[in-house]
Amino acid sequence: MIRKNFSVYMIAMIIFFVQVINSDNSKETEIKDLAGTWTGYGASSEVRFRHKLGLLTLTVKHKTEFVFVVDKNGKIDGEGSITYDLEKNTSGLDDLVASVHSLMAMAKVPGTGSAIADKMGEGVRNVKGVTQIQYDAPHLKNGPELRHFKFKGKINKGKVMNRFGKFTESLYIEIEEVKDFNLIGGKPDNVLIAEYEVNKVKTEAKFPCWSPFINGPGVVRKGPGKVHIAEFQRKGEHRNNKNVWQEYSYVWLARQVNPESE
């Protein structure tokens, strides 16, 4: 009799644990578990221009920090800040200019240098106040630029690639592309200004702020304790089908810092 009762007890316990597991894996319960406050950070690097001979490479970069709230239905509302920068690699151009300067020096000595060097040297010397080629490659006119932004998103469920490169059924965060940015104080400003200079002539070029989030899922996984973590990483070339844009890399990570209580 004791053995029979023990078997019935064990069967009841197994049924109970199976029900608990199935309940924990339901979509509604999982999304509720993700409700609360999240914080995150991210970065990107993208080559926007590379000369075919390697004379000049321009790479835009950003760093971002953000916070958002998830409700029990998976709706996301958040805000953040982003810092933009523009890096330049002028090693190829530096070498070329050094060669030109050598030709210009030769052009000053009678009977030396080619006609091309003579013409190049004469052309530069005809610019008032310029005795050699002078340049400053494109850079952000005002240095690194800070902007604030707001964003929305949603938690969904489906097959996504996890951090091990395998497709699994998982919850994931999708954040909409940010299109509106503000300066400190709230003034709208979606424009960055690049500046470059050749032989004391400065030129400015405007280009738009870009979103810290691009299309793709931030895969959710369990973290320490009761919190969850979402991770996003994407690499590629010619983003948005822009042929002049080269390789890019975007990453962001968010942590649930304050789960919403039941």
- Note whether residue 41 is domain-resident: yes
Judge whether 65 and 96 are in contact, CB under 8 Å. no
What is residue 102's predicted lDDT score, i.e. its pLDDT?
Answer: 54
- Note whether residue 171 is domain-resident: yes
Instruction: Say whether pLDDT at 160 is over 80.
Output: yes
What is residue 28's predicted lDDT score, i.e. its pLDDT?
Answer: 42
How many residues does the structure list for the chain?
Answer: 262
What is residue 166's predicted lDDT score, i.e. its pLDDT?
Answer: 80
What is residue 94's predicted lDDT score, i.e. its pLDDT?
Answer: 65
- Note whether residue 203 is domain-resident: yes
- Note whether residue 27 is domain-resident: no
- Note whether residue 253 is domain-resident: yes
Which of the residue ranges 13-22, 107-116, 204-213 has the most confident prediction, judged by mean pLDDT? 204-213
The pLDDT-based confidence of 5 (bands split at 50, 70, 90) is low
Lowest model confidence (mean pLDDT) among 5-14, 32-41, 85-94: 5-14
Lowest model confidence (mean pLDDT) among 52-61, 83-92, 194-203: 194-203
Average pLDDT over residues 214-226: 89
- Comparing 29 with 214, the larger pLDDT belongs to 214
Non-local CB neighbours of 258 within 8 Å, separated by 6+ positions? 36, 37
Query: pLDDT tens across 92-121, in order?
Result: 666 665 655 555 454 454 443 344 444 444
What is residue 248's predicted lDDT score, i.e. its pLDDT?
Answer: 96
- Note whether residue 113 is domain-resident: no
| Structural domain that includes position 69 | 34-49+58-90+137-259
Total structural domains within the chain: 1
Instruction: Say whether pLDDT at 125 is over 70.
Output: no
- Note whether residue 206 is domain-resident: yes
- Comparing 168 with 199, the larger pLDDT belongs to 168
Instruction: Say whether pLDDT at 153 is over 90.
Output: yes
Lowest model confidence (mean pLDDT) among 1-10, 83-92, 112-121: 112-121
Average pLDDT over residues 83-87: 95
Judge whether 95 and 105 are in contact, CB under 8 Å. no
When the pLDDT of each residue in the chain is averaged and rounded to a whole number, the result is 79
Q: Look at residue 131 and give its three-state secondary structure.
A: coil
Whole-Å CA distances, 199 to 66, 132, 147, 196, 247: 42, 8, 32, 10, 31
What is residue 30's predicted lDDT score, i.e. its pLDDT?
Answer: 79
Query: pLDDT tens across 126-140, in order?
Result: 444 445 556 667 889
Query: pLDDT tens across 139-150, in order?
Result: 899 899 999 999
CATH value at residue 41? 2.40.160
- Note whether residue 20 is domain-resident: no
Average pLDDT over residues 191-204: 84
Average pLDDT over residues 81-95: 83
Judge whether 153 and 78 are in contact, CB under 8 Å. yes
Nearest to 156 by CA among 174, 143, 181, 142: 174
Average pLDDT over residues 5-14: 46
